[in-house]
Structure 1
Amino acid sequence: MTEDITQTTIRFAATDGWELEADIYTSPSPKIAVLISAGTGFPRQFYTGLAMYLARQGAVVLTYDYRGIGGSKGKDLAGSGIDYPDWGRLDAPAALNALEEAAPGLPLTHLCHSVGGHFVGLMPNHSRITRHAFVSVGTGFFGGHHLRNIPSELYFWWVLGPYLLLRYGYIKPAGGWRGEAL
């Protein structure tokens, strides 16, 4: 049944003109449209298996790269001026618009992974979404973290991250960070 699913790579602009790249997975007879908003440092290809599964169930699915990530990287990450909330204020709304264009009239579901869930409140067009599904979206409260993860989180946020930002102007995959450059 996978052969019935079409996957298309598209490019579209956020409201400030930043070019974003996305993949659209289309079912032959879609009943729903699903936007997948990634967690920090996850390129859209991480969600390919999930997107294919949802498309086989009758969805049009859009996965996208936030500015500075994967196909939406741009030329100079250190000098880009990207502000983390831009992903929610500018990129997620543009991705929703692109999904609506690809799947007109279908009810919209937003599948949010990690920080993708935090950005919902920054989306000026979030009211057009019928339902949200949150996967591993934390509260931000440090006390809610698993004790075994606290040392690595402290290392990333208070040692590695600040060092890489000072040294390179961005967080590159080094010193244990396995995600995309940020």
Structure 2
Amino acid sequence: MSEITNREITIICEDNYPLAATVYQPNDGVKGAVLIGPATGIKRQFYTAFAQFLASHDYGVLTYDNRGIGDSLQGDIGKHPASLQCWGQLDQPAAIRALTQEFPQSNYHLIGHSAGGQLIGLASNAKELTSMFNFASSSGRLLNMKIRDQFKSHFFMNMFIPFSNLLFGHTKSQWFGMGEPLPAAVGHQWRTWCNGGGYVKTAFGKTIDKHYFEELTLPALWVNAVDDFIANDKNVKDMMAVSPNIKGQTMTLDPKEYGLKEIGHMKFFSRRASKLWQIPLTWLDTHSG
């Protein structure tokens, strides 16, 4: 197990927006470099224990906050213009570029959590990645959920988000235990994309003129959990279909098989679920040769 050093950096995006980020540097050399793509509204500190675990196994790691979230929020959230689309088109490419600068002459991997894996085909430099490991990344399509889950999802997406945006000028997703408050355009786009099929695909030819989903050919492992009603098997396949040339594999986890009470959409990165972390570590070791 390597000793590690971490430090805070600022990533400057193409439009000069600054993002807060943390770099985890193994002191005994680097086998590969990993970008952790955050879920919607989730701060980078959520992934600290997981990043430290990877770094202790000789992987350089970079975590970051999307614009409008955590330490990357500038000004009043009610006036912030951030959208899911700009997270993919501006923030993620800048994070990939920072990863290559921090760990030159390495191999590069994305570990995407939910939106962190969903948006990768919007990044112009995504083809610099050697592999991708996604957890809970799916289209989130409401119609692919079980009926009982559709009711609460429709309430959140189609009633609460527009109501919150109208009343407060942003989406108070934290009221539902879903991370940080979201800029209004993030909430609106999230709602629109989950009401359609293929998530981001619903915006092709509308707000998105250029994307790279069909150009990606990297190996990818898409992992979900049986107790995640959002990233269920149907929605994982729906999202995978947006990148038809990716060499994709799937794995569905049952918390009972690992002695866990739950995994769901978020708990994979919890310290309590650290026994699961051998799965991405093995994936990285296999694709870092």
* Shorter-chain TM-score above 0.5: yes
- Give the partner amino acid of 2:172: K
Distance 1:141 1:157 in 2: 11
Distance 1:175 1:101 in 2: 38
Counterpart contact for 2:174–2:180, Cα < 8 Å: no
Counterpart contact for 1:33–1:60, Cα < 8 Å: yes
Q: Where is the helix percentage greater, Structure 1 or Structure 2?
A: 2
Instruction: Give 1:98 deviation, angstroms.
Output: 0.8
Distance 2:147 2:129 in 1: 35
- Aligned-partner SS, 1:116: helix
Instruction: Give 1:155 deviation, angstroms.
Output: 1.7
Instruction: Give 1:152 deviation, angstroms.
Output: 2.4
Runs of 4+ with >6 A deviation: none
**Matched residue, 2:32:** 32
Counterpart contact for 1:160–1:175, Cα < 8 Å: no
1:98-142 Cα offsets, whole Å, 9 max, x none, are 111110011000011101111111000001001111111113432
Aligned length: 181
- Give the partner amino acid of 1:24: V
- Aligned-partner SS, 2:171: coil
Counterpart contact for 1:12–1:21, Cα < 8 Å: yes
Instruction: Give 1:146 deviation, angstroms.
Output: 4.4
Distance 2:61 2:146 in 1: 32
- Aligned-partner SS, 2:170: coil
Distance 2:148 2:119 in 1: 27
Bigger RCO of structures 1 and 2 (CA < 8 A, at least 6 apart): 1
Instruction: Give 1:168 deviation, angstroms.
Output: 1.5
- Give the partner amino acid of 1:12: I
**Matched residue, 1:155:** 155
Gaps of 5+ in 2: 183-289
When structure 1 is superposed on structure 2, of 166-175 and 130-139 the one drifting more is 166-175
Instruction: Give 1:79 deviation, angstroms.
Output: 1.4
- Aligned-partner SS, 1:110: strand
Instruction: Give 1:148 deviation, angstroms.
Output: 4.4
Structure 1 segment 19-168 matched on structure 2, within 5 A: 19-28=18-27, 29-168=29-168
CA-based RMSD: 1.6
Gaps of 5+ in 1: none
Percent identity (aligned): 34
**Matched residue, 1:6:** 5
